[in-house]
Amino acid sequence: MNEYNNGYMAMGRYAVWTSDVNDNDKPDLNEAFFLRRERQPDDPLLQSGRLYVGTNRWPENLDGFRERILQYTDAMDGLSRKFMPICAVALGLPPDYFDAAFAESQFTFRLSHYPPVAAEVNQFGIAPHTDANFLTFLAQTDVPGLQVRMPDGTWQDVPYIPNSYAVNSGDIMYRWTNGRFKSTPHRAVPPVGQDRYAIPFFLGPHIDTLIECLPSCQGPDHPPRFEPMTYDAYLHWWYKANYDASLQDDLDETAVG
């Protein structure tokens, strides 16, 4: 991975250590490839040196990989924007309320591989957590593993529905709505007898969007619970606490074998 947390992450190098869902103390049993919005060299945000809008790191000698991935992320970016009027109306806001914030979204795309390996106690394919972004769109697979925590604390398998997406709300949704829309607690257990692959698309607003309590989510008896902060500032806090790209520097072949 490069300094922007883009590229390949070996297995056993990461978990959401700040999770409010579980006391995560062991690294996750998956390997992954990460990228963000592809930017041209003259893009002002790229030239500014901003940490989470940096260049992608593409693998060599994989014909068509980059082109197919960019086609998919473009399609997902367009699909996700169709959800914004739904979110706005559900919150009692004008349908176009979020349009400006998501006109140039800050997204992360992750291609994950979960091998069928044995886990230690309190170890998972992905440990229990909530996502840091606004909404997550996950194309469904018939290989089980993804689970969601119910209000009573039990874990339930996410049912497989062909040609569908599982959609999670994330921490930015939670902060923006003053806790009205919850972050979805979820985890992935290692698959049994076969590999599992997942391609979640993590949608966030423009990097400079100010996340402050929405007008429809506060009142005399429900004051804002969170200090306003930019999405950029939130990502800096989250990645510093959870995700150190330098941990990839000592990669060896046994880590992925």
CATH of domain 7-244: 2.60.120.330
- Choice among 57, 149, 196, 225 that is catalytic: 196
Question: What CA–CA distance (Å, rounded) separates 30 from 13?
Answer: 9
Return the number of other C-beta atoms located less than 10 Å from residue 167's C-beta: 13
Q: What is the mean pLDDT of residues 85-107?
A: 97
Per-residue pLDDT of 16-72, as tens digits, reads: 999 999 999 999 999 999 999 999 889 999 888 888 898 999 998 999 999 999 999
- For residue 248, what pLDDT is reported? 59
Average pLDDT, rounded, for the chain: 92
Half-sphere exposure (CA, 13 Å, Cβ side) for 126? 23
Single pTM value for the model: 0.93
Residue 196 known to be catalytic = yes
Question: What CA–CA distance (Å, rounded) separates 108 from 171?
Answer: 15
